[in-house]
Amino acid sequence: MISTNGARSNRSCGLAGFRIVLIEAVAIGIAGAVLGFAANSVSPRGLKLWRDYFPGAIRPGEFTVSGPTNVAGKGTVTTNVTELVAARLKAKGLTALGLEQVKQLFNDTRRTTGLVVFVDARDENQYVAGHIPGAFLFDHYRAERYLPDVLPVCMNAAQIVLYCYGGECEDSEFAAVILRGAGVPNEKLGIYTGGFVEWSTNGLPVELGQRNSGVVGSERR
C-alpha cells in the first residue's frame, strides 16, 4: 500500500520552497526599485517623477490619417507621415514648417540679431554630435536645466524654429508646448517637421560640439 503521508509531506515541502522563492523575488524587486529611485533622485540627469514629460500629448483617436505611415529612404519623409504630423500639430495648435521655409529662416539676416532662433529639442549627446548651426539646445526632459538660457532668447525672438529628428519624432512639439506654457507667444513657434535628418542629408551645414563652436562638418556617428 502506498503511503499518503509521504506524498503530502513532499507537496508541503514543495509549496514551502515555492513560497520562499517567491518572497525572495519580491524582496529583490522592491530593493531594486528603492535603489533605482534613490539613484534617480541624486543623479543630475535623473528624471523628476512628478513632471509631465509629454505635455500636450495627443490621445489615440483624437485625430486620424488615412493610409499607412512610414519613412521612405534616408532623409525623406513620406506624404502619409507628413499628413500625420500636420494633423498632430494642428491638434496641438502648432505650426508646421517645411525645408524651404526653414532654409529661408536660416539665411534670414534677423538670425544674427536673435530675432530668428533655432531650438534643438534632442538630448545633449545628439546635439554635440551635430546640430543646425547656432541652434540652442533644449531637452524638454530636463527643461529646468535649459529654460533659464533658452526662455529669454525665445521671448525676444520674432520667429522660433524647433526641431528634433523629424518624421514621427515629437520632442520638438513637447518642447514647443513647454515654451508656450512658459509665456512664449504661440504664433512665434514653428515646428520643422523634416527635422535634423532631413537637414543633414540635404547637404546643409551642420555644427559640431557646442553652440557657435565654429566647427562645421558631417554629423558624428
Q: How far does CA 148 lie from the centroid of its chain?
A: 19
The amino acid at residue 200 is S
Predicted local confidence at residue 145, as pLDDT: 97
Per-residue pLDDT tens digits for 81-122: 778 888 999 999 999 999 999 999 999 999 999 999 999 999
Predicted local confidence at residue 52, as pLDDT: 46
Predicted local confidence at residue 133, as pLDDT: 98
Radius of gyration, alpha carbons of the chain:
25
The pTM (predicted TM-score) of the whole model is 0.67
Per-residue pLDDT tens digits for 43-80: 555 555 444 445 555 444 444 434 433 444 444 445 57
Rounded mean pLDDT of 178-183? 98
Per-residue pLDDT tens digits for 138-149: 999 999 999 999
- Complete DSSP assignment for the chain: ---HHHHHHHHHHHHHHHHHHHHHHHHHHHHHHHHHHHHHHHSTTPPPTTS-SSTTPPPTTSS---S---B-STT-B-HHHHHHHHHHHHHHT-EEE-HHHHHHHHH-GGGGGTSEEEEE-S-HHHHHH-BSTTPEE--GGGHHHHHHHHHHHHHH-SEEEEESS-TT--HHHHHHHHHHHTT--GGGEEEETTHHHHHHTTT---B-SSTT---B-SPP-
Predicted local confidence at residue 61, as pLDDT: 46
